[in-house]
Each structure stands twice: as C-alpha cells, then as structure tokens.
Amino acid sequence: MSQATEKPDGTGTPEREISHDEYDPVGTAALIGLYFLILVALWIFMYFVEFLGNDPTVIGSLMVGIA
C-alpha cells in the first residue's frame, strides 16, 4: 500500500492518510440514493398503476369469494 500513498512524482512524501470511516463520499451516496428512489418509484408505478390499473385482471377461482 505504500506506493498508493506516495506522491505521483515519487518523492516519497506521504499524503494525509484517512481512516476507514473518515472516507465520506457524500456525492456518490446522494447519487445512489437518487437512483434508489427512482427505482422504488418506478416499481410502484409499474405495479400499482400500469399493472393493477389495467383491469380486468386474471384472478384465481379459489380467491373468488374473498376478493
């Protein structure tokens, strides 16, 4: 790992090293969070609006009394 912390010019002076939990990529997290919300929204749209809104739907004859 020593190479990774060296300056690219090879002078050997180490960069500031941060601990595991100090690494805090907020931008990446926000982007992934946004992707996640889009995914959830699309699922809800697809199932509840596009699929269930497309009545009539095939139902099971066993569930007939209940539904």
Distance of CA 42 to the CA centre of its chain: 13
One character per residue 30-49, x = contact with other proteins (rule: CB under 8 A): --x---x--xx--x---xx-
Instruction: Let me know the angle formed at the C-alpha of 39 by 34 and 40, rounded to the nearest 5 degrees.
Output: 100
Q: Nearest distance from residue 67's CB to other proteins, in Å?
A: 4
Q: What is the enclosing helix (H) or strand (E) of 13?
A: none
Q: Is 25 in the site for other proteins (CB under 8 A)?
A: yes
Distance of CA 16 to the CA centre of its chain: 30
Q: Nearest distance from residue 48's CB to other proteins, in Å?
A: 8
Q: Is 29 in the site for other proteins (CB under 8 A)?
A: yes
